[in-house]
Amino acid sequence: MTVEVTAETAEQTRALGTSLAKLLRAGDLVILSGDLGAGKTTLTQGLGEGLGVRGAVTSPTFVISRVHPSTTGGPALVHVDAYRLGGLDELDDLDLDASLDESVTVVEWGTGVAEALADDRLEVVILRAHADDQGEARTLRVTGVGERWRSVSLDALTPA
* pLDDT tens, position by position, 1-58: 899 999 999 999 999 999 999 999 999 999 999 988 899 999 999 999 999 999 889 8
* CATH T-level fold of 2-148: Rossmann fold (3.40.50)
Please tell me the distance from the alpha carbon of residue 129 to that of residue 121, in angstroms, as a whole number: 26
> 67: pLDDT confidence band, cut at 50, 70 and 90?
confident
Do 24 and 46 meet the contact criterion of CB atoms below 8 Å apart? no
- pLDDT value for 14: 95
The model's pTM is 0.88
Mean pLDDT in residue range 111-135: 81
> 76: pLDDT confidence band, cut at 50, 70 and 90?
very high
Please tell me the distance from the alpha carbon of residue 105 to that of residue 84, in angstroms, as a whole number: 18
| Eight-class DSSP state of 52 | T
